[in-house]
Amino acid sequence: MTVLVTGGAGYIGGHVLRVLGAAGRDVLVVDDLSTGRAARLDGVPLLRLDLADPGCVPHLAGAMRTHGVTSVVHLAARKRVHESVLRPLWYLEQNVGGVAHVIAAMERAGVASIVFSSSAAVYGCPANDLVHEDDALAPVNPYGRTKLAGEWLVRSAARAWGLRAVSLRYFNVAGAGAPELGDDVVANLVTCALDRLARGQRPEVFGTGYPTPDGSCVRDFVHVSDLAEAHVVALDRLDRGGPLSDAVNIGLGTGASVLEVLERLGAVSGLDTTPTVLGPRAGDPARVVAAVDRARDELGWVARSDLSDILLSAWQSWQAGPRAIR
């Protein structure tokens, strides 16, 4: 009854491991440690593999059999939107190739349940105030397209050979469940702002002319610990069987603007977070906020932490790390 977690040495993966451990689950991590940290594993066994390499499939299937794997949480992926625009083919190989090889190994080993890490990026620029899972899927960058392609692969395997699966569409993940598990990759609003403040620079805001209350983009921020718990709830739901939608939004269900987040980060940290305002980025939607009814009704999951909790934990984690702001 072992859960295999790909990308388990990463930011989200480290939190998923903590929740699985607290639930008494046996875990095996597969990670190439290209961006993850072995220190996050806390004694969980590690199989070091590059999942984008087709040659990984027999090794992965063998490990599944050896460790008695019965389900998979597939987190491993590249996630920098700007990088995906510059390297679209590589993102296809990494993200779509990775999930294809994991599913191939699962079929060989007879492992029939997977929770797939997807993204709100599959929606592109939604037209509605709250984004529902059945809304149009129109990703505007290669990263979002690889996540949508991953969902298609998972869904196709479910139809072809009975894979039990759910794709969790993450909204903006931030915060830290413990200081040592904090996000050290500078790739989202909170870590980008802290990175610039640590350099003695102002945070950057891309556009203040959007049709939102303060003109900046509005996003749905979800605490990484709540997100991690959603994976365990989803695994339990797959184990029990019965009807489950193939995609579920994981968010707080309320939005906060970029300017509001920076102002509240300043209040938490005591720093001057007055931003430098730059022009808008192509493809940035004005508002992306999750409708979370399906997560509540089908998984029994509701986010427990609000934006204040997220920002306080992110700040405390940053200050506990090597780039603390003095």
Sequential DSSP letters for 41-109:
GTT--EE---TTSTTHHHHHHHHHHHTTEEEEEE------HHHHHH-HHHHIIIIIHHHHHHHHHHHHH
Name, in order, each residue with C-beta under 8 angstroms of 206's C-beta and a sequence gap of 6 or more. 217, 258, 278, 279, 280, 281, 284
Average pLDDT, the chain: 96
Give the tens place of pLDDT for each residue, 159-178: 999 999 999 999 999 999 99
Cα 316 to chain centroid, rounded: 21
Residues in the chain, overall count: 326
Q: What is the mean pLDDT of residues 26-33?
A: 98
Residue 256 has pLDDT above 90, yes or no: yes
Which domains are present in the chain? 2-171+222-250 (3.40.50.720), 174-220+252-319 (3.90.25.10)
pLDDT recorded at residue 281: 87
- Classify 265 as helix, strand or coil: helix
Band of residue 248 on the pLDDT scale cut at 50, 70, 90: very high
pLDDT recorded at residue 242: 79
b/e for 233-254, b at 16 or more Cβ within 10 A?
Answer: bbbebbeeeeebeebbbbbbbe
Q: Which of 206, 76, 222 is nearest to 146 (CA)?
A: 76
Residue 36 has pLDDT above 90, yes or no: yes
| Residue 170 is a catalytic residue | no
Per the listing, tokens 């997220």 go with 310
pLDDT recorded at residue 52: 97
Give the tens place of pLDDT for each residue, 274-323: 999 999 988 889 999 999 999 999 999 999 999 999 999 999 999 999 99
Catalytic, out of 11, 143, 170, 210: 143
**For residue 238, is it left (φ>0), alpha (ψ between -120 and 50) or beta?**
alpha
Give the tens place of pLDDT for each residue, 52-87: 999 999 999 999 999 999 999 999 999 989 899 999
Rg of the chain taking only CA atoms, in angstroms: 19
Give the tens place of pLDDT for each residue, 103-142: 999 999 999 999 999 999 999 999 999 999 999 999 999 9
Which stretches of the chain are assigned E, i.e. beta strand? Answer: 2-6, 26-30, 46-47, 69-74, 113-119, 164-170, 172-174, 204-206, 218-219, 221-223, 247-250, 256-257, 276-278, 287-288
